[in-house]
Amino acid sequence: MTWESLSEDVETYRQTCESCQKNKNKIRLKQELLQTIIPNHVVDLLLIDYVGPLPATGLSKIKFVLLITDCVSRFVSSYQTAN
């Protein structure tokens, strides 16, 4: 058995249900706009990311690399991790 008009029936019920109309959320909170961060000095803004898992190569047990990038100087530091 299939209910061909399920979507339409649900919409009709939702629009005619007195309890649904009384209890629905009428107030929508405004979302604030994102604030742009403008770094002025070195180390004001750092990007941190894990890269991996990396494929196994020989005896190397390095699975992940931690990358830290300074947004002002574009200096990148990388640190290897075993797990």
Residue 54 lies in a domain: yes
Residue 63 lies in a domain: yes
In the predicted structure, residue 47 carries a pLDDT above the cut 80:
yes
Q: Phi first, then psi: what are they for 59, rounded to 5°?
A: -90, -5
In the predicted structure, residue 25 carries a pLDDT above the cut 80:
no
Strand partners, 77: 68
Residue 27 lies in a domain: yes
**Number of folded domains in the chain?**
1
Residue 72 lies in a domain: yes
Q: Which amino acid is located at 66 in the chain?
A: L
Residue 1 lies in a domain: no
Residue 49 lies in a domain: yes
The residue segments making up the domain with residue 54 are 6-81
Which pTM does this prediction carry?
0.51
pLDDT band at 68 (very low <50, low <70, confident <90, very high): very high
Residue 64 lies in a domain: yes
> pLDDT > 70: what percent of the chain?
94
Residue 59 lies in a domain: yes
